């Protein structure tokens, strides 16, 4: 018997193509291959033989049922109703037979009542996280982060749209809106941030000068980055930011100190390029892979800024999973500036240190962290690191060029499916730098 490709399908199994409609298939969908060009007639004959056997069995059962129903025909006037019942009974008898013949190949039964509840729990799109920090130099801050999670397609990473707010015991206020998106099968990534803050600083030894200083910093900033997946794990893109940063002394003496140190606010606008390699299995809770980010920002008066200078960054991170779900991670970070004003120079970026207290044209740091896993949701962190400031500048501390940190904490996974967590840590530095932090995600 010749087999013609692309013919009609079985009425019950779209995976099987035959010359004629067959009443029912011998096996569940997916077991039989499509019959068409490239398949021999012997295979087709075997299929028809089994199909005819099942058809004959159904017909036999239907005949038996019809015979029994015929005995009650005089009591029933609806022949169509009797016929429907007969067909239903025939199929009811036949289906268990076919199913039992292939019991080992039948997919497992899913609890339909429990599945929607579990799916609803897993697909909650909202994220609410408290944000708390306390340190001698920053005071104590309280706030929160709220975000909406969305996945644009199965191959893209989770996108996050959120707001954050913090108020401190020094009467400082910081607020921001942010978006981190991934779409087009993770071929496109966009990050956007809008930040606003009025920050009261109290420095006991500003920039290592031995001069105590109180300042009021007013900051408004916008930043954005677009990345395109070029090949494999490599991305290229562009970025830009604009900021209005004002620094005012708490008193006339503080204003004089700012003038003496050359610290003043400025307006800035910059554009730059980004090259990134990202093979991590997660952005928020990676267990393996590498992350490399090389980027620059060219601040120019032609873009609307008050000054022209350059900033370059190189950030390398590695993650290794080992016994029991633990992860060993390291980070080597570099921040280089050229002709930057004092307030825009490189700063120590380590947990426990106040950003902007120690400045120099160049900064390099190294951190190592062990991320322990106790259970599916609970874990701990142990970390240590050191940052070095260098380059010709009066901003570097007269006592130190290197700034170490050490600490640890515990974390709780609040979104297992999206691999997102809340982290509570303590970090200890030098020169009175230390702090306790409750925040969303790891330190890096």
Question: pLDDT tens-digit profile of 23-69?
Answer: 444 444 444 343 344 444 444 444 444 444 444 554 455 454 454 44
Q: Is 417 a residue whose pLDDT tops 60?
A: yes
- pLDDT band at residue 119, thresholds of 50, 70 and 90? very low
* Separation between Cα atoms, residue 353 and residue 348, nearest integer Å: 7
Q: Are 405 and 350 in contact (CB under 8 A)?
A: yes
* Separation between Cα atoms, residue 324 and residue 380, nearest integer Å: 13
Rounded to two decimals, what is the model's pTM? 0.68
Q: Are 424 and 123 in contact (CB under 8 A)?
A: no
Cβ-based neighbours of 314, under 8 Å, separated by 6 or more? 293, 294, 333, 334
Q: Which residue has the higher pLDDT, 50 or 88?
A: 50
How many CB atoms sit inside 10 A of residue 230's CB?
Answer: 14
Q: Is 2 a residue whose pLDDT tops 60?
A: no
Q: Is 94 a residue whose pLDDT tops 60?
A: no
Q: Which residue has the higher pLDDT, 355 or 413?
A: 413
Q: Is 373 a residue whose pLDDT tops 50?
A: yes
* Token reading at 208: 């290592």
* Separation between Cα atoms, residue 259 and residue 206, nearest integer Å: 13
Asked which of 27-41, 85-99, 210-224, 427-441 is least confident by mean pLDDT, the reply is: 85-99
Q: Please, what are the domains in the chain?
A: 1-109 (no CATH), 120-440 (2.40.160.50)
* Separation between Cα atoms, residue 348 and residue 328, nearest integer Å: 23
Structure-token match 């890096």, residue found: 444
Q: Which residue has the higher pLDDT, 206 or 43?
A: 206
Q: What angle do CA 8, 10, 13 make, to 5 degrees?
A: 130
* Separation between Cα atoms, residue 42 and residue 48, nearest integer Å: 10
Q: Are 425 and 114 in contact (CB under 8 A)?
A: no
pLDDT at 38: 43
CA 381 to each of CA 281, 282, 312, 330, 332: distance values in angstroms, whole numbers, following the listed order: 19, 18, 30, 13, 18
Q: Is 105 a residue whose pLDDT tops 60?
A: no
Top-ranked range on mean pLDDT: pick from 18-22, 83-87, 196-200, 236-240: 236-240
Please provide the distance, in angstroms rounded to a whole number, between the alpha carbons at the two ends of the chain: 67
pLDDT at 216: 80
Per-residue pLDDT of 336-354, as tens digits, reads 999 998 888 999 999 999 8
Strand partners of residue 419: none
Per-residue pLDDT of 251-304, as tens digits, reads 666 666 666 666 666 789 999 999 999 999 999 999 999 999 999 999 999 999
Give the residue-averaged pLDDT of 308-317: 97
pLDDT at 3: 42
Express as a percent the part of the chain with pLDDT over 70: 64
Q: Is 107 a residue whose pLDDT tops 60?
A: no
Give the residue-averaged pLDDT of 209-231: 86
Structure-token match 């730098």, residue found: 433
* Separation between Cα atoms, residue 159 and residue 192, nearest integer Å: 12
- pLDDT band at residue 199, thresholds of 50, 70 and 90? confident
Top-ranked range on mean pLDDT: pick from 2-11, 37-46, 132-141, 276-285: 276-285
CA 222 to each of CA 182, 218, 310: distance values in angstroms, whole numbers, following the listed order: 20, 14, 18
pLDDT at 237: 98
Q: Which residue has the higher pLDDT, 46 or 146?
A: 146
Give the residue-averaged pLDDT of 235-249: 86
- pLDDT band at residue 182, thresholds of 50, 70 and 90? very high
* Separation between Cα atoms, residue 203 and residue 247, nearest integer Å: 14
DSSP summary character for residue 157: P
Please provide residue 399's backbone torsions phi and psi, each rounded to the nearest 5 degrees: -100, -25
Mean pLDDT (the chain, rounded)? 76
Bin 139: left if φ > 0, else alpha if -120 < ψ < 50, else beta. left
Strand partners of residue 298: 271, 310
* Token reading at 284: 């928020």
Give the residue-averaged pLDDT of 100-105: 34
pLDDT at 171: 86
Q: Are 424 and 411 in contact (CB under 8 A)?
A: yes
């Amino acid at each position: 018997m010749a087999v013609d490709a692309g013919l009609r399908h079985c009425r019950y199994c779209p995976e099987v193509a035959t010359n004629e409609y067959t009443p029912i298939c011998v096996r569940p969908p997916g077991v039989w291959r499509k019959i068409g060009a490239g398949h021999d007639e012997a295979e087709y004959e075997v299929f028809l033989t089994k199909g005819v056997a099942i058809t004959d069995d159904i017909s036999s059962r239907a005949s038996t049922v019809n015979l029994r129903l015929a005995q009650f025909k005089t009591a029933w006037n609806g022949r169509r109703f009797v016929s429907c019942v007969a067909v239903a009974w025939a199929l009811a008898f036949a289906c268990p037979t076919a199913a039992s013949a292939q019991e080992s190949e039948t997919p497992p039964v899913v609890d339909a009542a429990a599945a929607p509840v579990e799916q609803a729990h897993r697909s909650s799109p909202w994220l609410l996280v408290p944000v708390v920090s306390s340190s001698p130099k920053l005071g104590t801050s309280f706030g929160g982060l709220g975000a909406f999670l969305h996945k644009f397609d199965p191959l893209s990473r989770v996108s996050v749209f959120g707001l954050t707010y913090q108020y401190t015991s020094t009467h400082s206020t910081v607020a921001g809106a942010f978006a981190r998106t991934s779409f087009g099968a993770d071929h496109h990534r966009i990050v956007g941030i809008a930040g606003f803050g009025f920050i009261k600083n109290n420095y006991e030894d500003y920039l290592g000068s031995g001069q105590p200083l109180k300042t009021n910093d007013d900051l408004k900033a916008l930043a954005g980055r677009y990345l395109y997946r070029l090949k494999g794990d490599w991305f290229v893109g562009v970025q830009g930011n604009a900021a209005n940063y004002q620094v005012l002394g708490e008193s006339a003496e503080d204003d004089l100190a700012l003038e003496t140190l050359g610290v003043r606010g400025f307006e800035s606008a910059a554009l730059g390029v980004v090259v990134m390699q990202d093979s991590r299995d997660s952005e928020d809770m990676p267990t393996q892979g590498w992350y490399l980010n090389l980027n620059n920002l060219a601040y120019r008066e032609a873009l609307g800024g008050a000054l022209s200078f350059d900033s370059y960054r190189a950030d390398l991170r590695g993650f290794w999973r080992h016994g029991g779900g633990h992860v060993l991670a390291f980070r080597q970070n570099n921040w280089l500036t050229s002709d930057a004003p004092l307030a825009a120079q490189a700063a120590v970026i380590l947990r426990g240190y106040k950003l902007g207290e120690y400045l120099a044209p160049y900064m390099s740091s190294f951190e190592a962290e062990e991320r322990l896993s106790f259970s599916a949701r609970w874990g701990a962190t142990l970390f240590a690191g050191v940052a070095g400031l260098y380059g010709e500048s009066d901003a570097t501390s007269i006592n130190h060029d290197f700034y170490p940190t050490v600490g640890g904490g515990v974390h709780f996974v609040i979104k297992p499916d999206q691999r997102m967590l809340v982290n509570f840590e303590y970090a200890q530095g030098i020169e009175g730098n230390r702090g306790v932090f409750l925040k969303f995600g790891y330190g890096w």
